[in-house]
Chain A
Amino acid sequence: AQSVAQPEDQVNVAEGNPLTVKCTYSVSGNPYLFWYVQYPNRGLQFLLKYITGDNLVKGSYGFEAEFNKSQTSFHLKKPSALVSDSALYFCAVSPFTGGGNKLTFGTGTQLKVEL
């Protein structure tokens, strides 16, 4: 069975500082990994995904994520946080074989960026 873990319920960071939101995964075979962001009372917005190739994936709104196979991690990063980045972030994994496009989500990390 596949799973993702987001070990931090909340991350606080000052505006202008770099941010990291952590995600670790457990899958059979190669992982397909996704990051989504959710603003209050809104749907999920796709940020980026890792399928294969470069370990550093660049996505929307200046976000990037680093795939680390040895540590089974896919942490989301941004060099300089904005107050408008404050939202709920979900990491998700899709099965390598079978199962279609059925995403398994982590429990989410609330990011709070303060002035």
Chain B
Amino acid sequence: DAMVIQNPRYQVTQFGKPVTLSCSQTLNHNVMYWYQQKSSQAPKLLFHYYDKDFNNEADTPDNFQSRRPNTSFCFLDIRSPGLGDAAMYLCATSREGQNTDTQYFGPGTRLTVL
């Protein structure tokens, strides 16, 4: 089945230690998104890629970076995690990024910062 895969499902890091979260997709979608979701709150969009074009949200901290080396993979890098960055990180994809497109989500990575 076509799907969105996130690894690892659970990640523990130390305060200030860089961490990378991974997302891959077999849907061959052009757009990939990263969301941050804290404790039963609404997901908050951090950034998205349309193909190789990177689109950052205005209020996304510089501490968060992303890479998309090819269509299938997208990475979220947190350069110096703080306690406030502990959250569920969700990756999603959509076919063309049109307003009517459905976004398909991965299972998420739960990040704990010690």
Contacts and interface: CB of A to CB of B under 8 A. Distances in A.
Interface stretch (B14-22, B59-67, B76-84, B91-99): B91-99
A108 B42 contact: yes
Contacts of B50: 100
A31 B61 CA distance: 30
Interface in A57-115: 88, 90, 94-97, 99-103, 105-108, 110
Interface residues of B, number: 29
Provide the main secondary structure of the chain A interface.
loop
A41 interface: yes
B110 A106 contact: no
Given A100-B50, A101-B31, A103-B103, A44 B43 contact: yes
Contacts, number: 67
B42 A100 contact: no
Interface of B: 4, 6, 31, 40-43, 45, 48, 50, 55, 88, 90, 92, 94, 96-108, 110
18 contacts: A32-B99, A34-B103, A41-B88, A42-B107, A43-B90, A44-B43, A44-B92, A46-B102, A49-B100, A100-B31, A100-B48, A100-B50, A101-B94, A102-B45, A103-B45, A108-B40, A108-B41, A110-B40
